[in-house]
């Protein structure tokens, strides 16, 4: 795995670390302490799971509309997936 992918692993780990309770903060979420609101936990998915993303360059009518990828990161709004054929982050 190239070094760039490990950056995504670290970024995702830090995001998860900041939205869980900590005893050093009297069991307050670091996210809540910083932004004064609860984090949205609806976007949390299993890291490394299989994901599909929309193929926007579809030219043939019967060509598949989605491409297979692996989930390698997420944050408040976006997911980052690794395309299995081209090994590009999307």
**H/E/C letters for each residue in 16-60?**
HHHCCCEHHHCCECHHHHHHCCCCCCCCCCCCCCEEEEECCCCCC
Residues 61-89 pLDDT 10s: 787 888 899 998 887 778 889 988 888 88
pLDDT, residue 2, reads: 57
Residues 26-69 pLDDT 10s: 888 888 888 898 888 888 888 889 999 987 776 787 878 888 99
The residue extents of the domains of the chain are 3-83
pLDDT, residue 57, reads: 75
* Whole-structure pTM value: 0.73
Q: Do residues 32 and 21 lie in contact, with contact meaning Cβ atoms separated by under 8 Å?
A: no
pLDDT, residue 3, reads: 57
């Amino acid at each position: 795995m190239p070094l760039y992918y490990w950056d995504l692993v670290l970024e995702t780990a830090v995001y998860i670390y900041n939205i869980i309770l900590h005893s050093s903060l009297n069991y307050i979420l670091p996210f809540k302490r910083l932004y004064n609101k609860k984090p949205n936990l609806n976007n949390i998915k299993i890291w490394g799971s299989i994901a599909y993303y929309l193929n926007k360059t579809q030219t043939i009518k019967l060509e598949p509309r989605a491409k297979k990828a692996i989930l390698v990161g997420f944050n408040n709004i976006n997911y980052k997936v690794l395309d299995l054929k081209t090994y590009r982050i999307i």
